[in-house]
Amino acid sequence: MAKKVLNVEDDPDIRTFVTTVLEENGFIPIMAKDGEEGTKKVREEKPDLIILDILMPKESGIKMYHELKRNPSLKDIPVVMLSGVAKRTFLRSQVALTEFGDETVPEPEAYLEKPVEAEDLAEILKKILG
């Protein structure tokens, strides 16, 4: 059965790009345009993988990632970060959130900085989802 991949991304051009990559590689794309909608879709759809942007309206990918990894029923869903924000910043932000009393969270399965090639994204998805 085809695996479901949730893409949380506010930029419509990137959403279209990711949808195309997912469909061409046999995955079922699910879209959300911000972290708030993304969290809702994760609970409703239980995707096999999440591709997550960081800087978005309503709720950032940093907050959404932190919440996902602290939720026992969602923490095992693999996450691929796809963002213009540097990986160094992402890791530091997770440490900063921990400093404010939260639990430490693991690093994401992959971190891709925009722009990404279709082949590179497809390869990582196949590697993680088998």
Partner 1 sequence: MKITTMLFVSEFEELWFDALQSLLGLRKAGLNHVVFLHVIQREKVAMRRGTGYLKQEERKLREIADIRFIDWAETLFEEGMEVGAHIAIGNVVPKILSVAEIEKVDLIVTARKKRGKLEELFAGSETSDLLRRTVKPVLIYNYLSQSGKVGEDPFERLLLALDWSVSSEKVLDFVLSLKGAIKRVEIIHVLSDREIGKLSKMEAHKVERDSKKRLDEVCDVFAQERFDARPHLYIGNAEEQIERGASEHKATMIVVGTKRASVWKERWSGSVSHSLAEKSELPLLVIPAEVK
60 binds partner 1 (CB under 8 A): yes
Place of tokens 């693991």: 106
Told to check if 40 binds partner 1 by CB under 8 A, we report: no
46: phi > 0 → left, psi -120 to 50 → alpha, else beta; which? Answer: left
Tell me the C-alpha distance between 31 and 53, whole Å: 12
Stretch binding partner 1 (CB under 8 A), from 19-27, 43-51, 81-89, 117-125: 81-89
Least distance in angstroms from the C-beta of 48 to partner 1: 27
Task: Output the six-digit token pair for 126.
Answer: 């196949």
SS3 7: strand
107 near partner 1 (CB under 8 A): no
Can you give the binding site for partner 1, defined by CB under 8 A? 54-60, 62-63, 84-86, 89-90, 92-93, 96-97, 99-100
